[in-house]
Chains A and B, each alone.
Chain A
Amino acid sequence: MRAAHFCESCGKVQPPAPTDYFSYFGLPRKLNIDTAQLEREFYRLSRKLHPDLYARASEQEQEWSTERSSLLNDAYRTLRDPVARTEYLLKLEGVQLEEQSKAATDRARESGGEKKQVVPPELLEEVFELNMQLQELKLSKQMGEAADERVVRDLTAAKQGFEARLSGLDQRLQQTWAAWDERSGQRHEGDAESRKALEAMVEVLNTRSYIRNLVRDVNAALEA
């Protein structure tokens, strides 16, 4: 059911009621979204809720309009992006992304160390290799030597390999969406298929985030 943004009788903007982003846009909790339609809806609602339209209204209405449109903007920003949308669904479903979880952040804070990420098993070998090369590059920089061309070449190649994996992961993510969306009609508490789909999403997102960090580290090392 669509959230009530306006008063049905007087048409005035209403104070925001607690709601999730999917229902804000009147959407079912599915991951395959028609983003063009989402954008049209975002524009349509913006034309009604944006504070510019309430510059002459009462202070209360201005405040509500600001809150309402911040919610609209937050919802649109989250839903239009495939990764943010998936993460948001996981949060709604009470699933924690281990590596990005608040718990992991808190642990890192308490220990004062960096947030540890578990290496996805299929990447173990490549990551080991990559870390060696990064180490080598760092060492030669510390010694004030010019970076070994071979190391630079290898790192660049490795980076490209990881980037290719990232686009492969995007496809895998879409497959998990399909699995989740399919169960949408007959979902019930503890539905095993749905659970499996959610777990697959967690795995894809974790791998994705891990690879992105790797690429970032390689870029930083090459640019340094």
Chain B
Amino acid sequence: MAEAERIVGIDLGTTNSLVAYMEPESAHGPGAAGRPVVIPGEDGANLVPSLVALDGSGEIIVGNAARSHLIETPDRAVYSIKRLMGRGVEDVQDELKLFPFRLAGDMAPGEVLRIKLGERDFTPPEISAFILRQLRRNAERFFGAPVRKAVITVPAYFNDAQRQATKDAGRIAGLEVLRLVNEPTAAALAYGLDKKREGIVAVYDLGGGTFDISILKLQDGIFEVIATNGDTHLGGDDIDNLLITIALDDIRGDMNIDLARNGEAVQAIRKAVIEAKIALSSEQRATIECELPGGRHYRRQITREQFEQLIAPIIQRTAGPCRQALADAGLKPEQVDEVALVGGSTRIPRVRQLVRELFKREPHSELNPDEVVALGAAVQAHILGGGSEATRDMLLLDVTPLSLGIEALGGVVAKIIQRNSTIPASATEHFTTGVEGQTSVAIHVVQGERELAKDCRSLARFDLKGITPMAAGLPRIEVKFLIDANGILHVSAREQRSGKEAQIDVKPTYGLTDDQVESMILDSFDNAEEDFRARQAIEARNEAQTILDALEKGRGTEAWVQLTPAERSRIHRLEQELLVVRNSENHHAIQAKIAELNEATLRLAELMMDSAVSSALKGKSMESAEVGDAMNAPHPFAPAEIQETK
């Protein structure tokens, strides 16, 4: 496979992240279908916790290695960053109460959030980029080659700003994001590849921080999303936070100490409640147990029944979106043929029970709910890369989860693209001026289902400028809104009377500008890329030196004299050529020349070998043989078999 075409699928999750790729068909023998597999990290684990820490020496640590930092130096670590992607200071106040996110002190309203990690600040896309870079490195180690292109999954219910932020994170991590794929849709792809399924499939995806429900129609390899709904701030995190609050209340009541502001203690409790939560999926009771500062010990028994009562209101929040998605799809629960479960939180028995009640059937969970999204992303990556027999007929038709609108007079939203429209989708609107001589028109684009713009998500404000001064109402400006296959909005405008393109400066309400992203692109990425190339070049150069040294030795032997003049001159020419390319950074060129020289010196090696064998038979030790040194070089000049003749 050409290096440039190596496209990976990435699930950038709230709690865990994974990278996967489509194994080539040949890996399973001729005729075997390729299948998606997760690429493990250096520690052998498939899941990379979405955890980023800054260690004492200023180095970024990601994943399992950052766990100890989270407990020991909680002010230098961050988790669940996905919750802050594409959001502004104004709309994360609730999150800040529940999560130990520390915003930079000098933040202005409307600015992209910056999170403090020790003495430095990072935006959420930058923190996500650290995770992506780790996944990329894992893949590069696995392939032994650079990885530049990826498909990244996002919650289906992510809005434009959250999608844009994810794409920015990819760019910062040095990845060309070929496509953002919705998580439940990716899961459906993995399921659909597994068994050639047909019919109506609902994907219920409850992860660490987000909930999605997508209803798809599968037919002849087309995966058509009919409706999607969800909540981008609902998941296992909410269950953890509820249990943490209870533990903190217990501690306040029993020991009369308030640990809510004690980062270390909260992290210790968090770890304990997560363990108990997981245990309760298989056990009838569990114990929340942890050490508190001052040598105190916290311990609380919790039964599954109590747990289920506690989490019922959280889980119940998934019911509304499910009903809405069914209604939007124009379907009754009975018309859904299959329900697939995705996301770690669907391991909770009470969640499965709710799904059973909502859809009146037993949900599927054959594929690992933690991995299925990444596997689907790998399938989509493979399709974008040109596909193969296994994916030949597969095509994903996804939808936009939220309606797109423009703020009209009085703050009312005029919807121009309805939710659940298949993407790419577009709408063309005409605008005019209200005052004579007006040369610009301000436009406010929002996303959401509410009637008033202030209740919707502000995406961008922009001015149509450079309008030729005319009487009010005379200019006719055509603005085209296009939602691309990633679910990201593009705007273009034209003044119809003059036919000239109107100028648009789209200022994303909660996004980074192109220049900002450009300046954030991890230097380390470029370095990693360069390092990788440099390392390969160095290795090739070392290899070249080895063969040149061996050749030098060979020239002093009888074997050299036995070569024909043509053979000798060919070797000489290739040697000169290798000396030239050896100094380049192009490891491919160096290696090609080494291979040629190797081939040209094959007979020399054989002759030397013969003479070495005969010297050995004459009773000389290998070490003292003329050619001995050359023999020890790791090169075809010195085949290992020689040793056996001793």
Indicate with 1 or 0, residue by residue over A56-95, a CB within 8 angstroms of chain B CB atoms: 1000000000110111011011000000000000000000
Task: Give the nearest-CB partner of B473 in chain A.
Answer: A106
Task: Give the nearest-CB partner of A106 in chain B.
Answer: B409
Cα A104 to Cα B366 in complex, Å, equals: 54
The 8 Å CB contact of A76, one of B220, B222, B383, B422, is: B422
Q: For chain A, what secondary structure do more than half of its interface residues adopt (helix, strand, loop), or is it mixed?
A: helix
Task: Give the nearest-CB partner of A53 in chain B.
Answer: B395
Cα A100 to Cα B421 in complex, Å, equals: 21
A159 beta carbon closer than 8 Å to chain B: no
Residues from chain B with a CB closer than 8 A to the CB of A76 are 422
Interface size (A, Cβ < 8 Å)? 21
Indicate with 1 or 0, residue by residue over B400-433, a CB within 8 angstroms of chain A CB atoms: 0000000011100010000001111111000000
Cα A76 to Cα B399 in complex, Å, equals: 13
Given A56-B386, A74-B426, A50 and B408 contact (CB-CB distance below 8 Å): no
Cα A46 to Cα B221 in complex, Å, equals: 12
B383 touches A66 (CB 8 A): no
In the complex, what's the smallest C-beta–C-beta distance from A92 to chain B, in angstroms? 15
Chain B, range 351-405, C-beta contacts under 8 Å to A: 380, 383-386, 395-397
B424 touches A43 (CB 8 A): no
In the complex, what's the smallest C-beta–C-beta distance from B441 to chain A, in angstroms? 14
A187 beta carbon closer than 8 Å to chain B: no
In the complex, what's the smallest C-beta–C-beta distance from B114 to chain A, in angstroms? 33
Cα A149 to Cα B527 in complex, Å, equals: 74
In the complex, what's the smallest C-beta–C-beta distance from B453 to chain A, in angstroms? 13
Given A43-B222, A56-B386, A66-B485, A112 and B424 contact (CB-CB distance below 8 Å): no
Residues from chain B with a CB closer than 8 A to the CB of A47 are 222, 395
A98 beta carbon closer than 8 Å to chain B: no
In the complex, what's the smallest C-beta–C-beta distance from B304 to chain A, in angstroms? 34
Chain B, range 183-220, C-beta contacts under 8 Å to A: 219-220
B178 touches A55 (CB 8 A): yes
| Given A52-B380, A76-B422; 13 other pairs, CB 8 A cutoff | A50-B395, A50-B397, A51-B484, A52-B485, A66-B482, A66-B485, A70-B423, A73-B424, A74-B426, A74-B427, A77-B425, A105-B408, A109-B408
B270 beta carbon closer than 8 Å to chain A: no
Cα A40 to Cα B386 in complex, Å, equals: 23
| Interface residue ranges, B against A (CB under 8 Å) | 5, 178-179, 219-220, 222, 380, 383-386, 395-397, 408-410, 414, 421-427, 482-485
B179 touches A55 (CB 8 A): yes
Cα A43 to Cα B380 in complex, Å, equals: 18
Residues from chain B with a CB closer than 8 A to the CB of A69 are 424, 485
Cα A74 to Cα B482 in complex, Å, equals: 11
Residues from chain A with a CB closer than 8 A to the CB of B220 are 43
Residues from chain A with a CB closer than 8 A to the CB of B482 are 66-67, 70
Residues from chain A with a CB closer than 8 A to the CB of B422 are 73, 76-77
A66 touches B397 (CB 8 A): no
B179 touches A109 (CB 8 A): no
Residues from chain A with a CB closer than 8 A to the CB of B425 are 70, 73-74, 77
In the complex, what's the smallest C-beta–C-beta distance from A117 to chain B, in angstroms? 16
Task: Give the nearest-CB partner of A68 in chain B.
Answer: B424
Cα A46 to Cα B219 in complex, Å, equals: 13
Given A43-B222, A46-B395, A67-B482, A51 and B410 contact (CB-CB distance below 8 Å): no
B410 touches A112 (CB 8 A): yes
Task: Give the nearest-CB partner of B422 in chain A.
Answer: A73
Cα A39 to Cα B395 in complex, Å, equals: 15
B222 touches A55 (CB 8 A): no
Given A43-B222, A46-B397, A109-B409, A55 and B426 contact (CB-CB distance below 8 Å): no
In the complex, what's the smallest C-beta–C-beta distance from B492 to chain A, in angstroms? 10
Residues from chain A with a CB closer than 8 A to the CB of B409 are 109-110, 112
The 8 Å CB contact of A50, one of B386, B421, B483, B485, is: B485
Cα A105 to Cα B406 in complex, Å, equals: 14
Given A46-B397, A52-B485, A55-B385, A73 and B423 contact (CB-CB distance below 8 Å): yes
- 14 A-B pairs (CB sep. < 8 Å): A43-B219, A47-B395, A50-B395, A52-B179, A69-B424, A69-B485, A70-B424, A70-B426, A70-B482, A73-B421, A73-B423, A73-B424, A74-B421, A77-B425
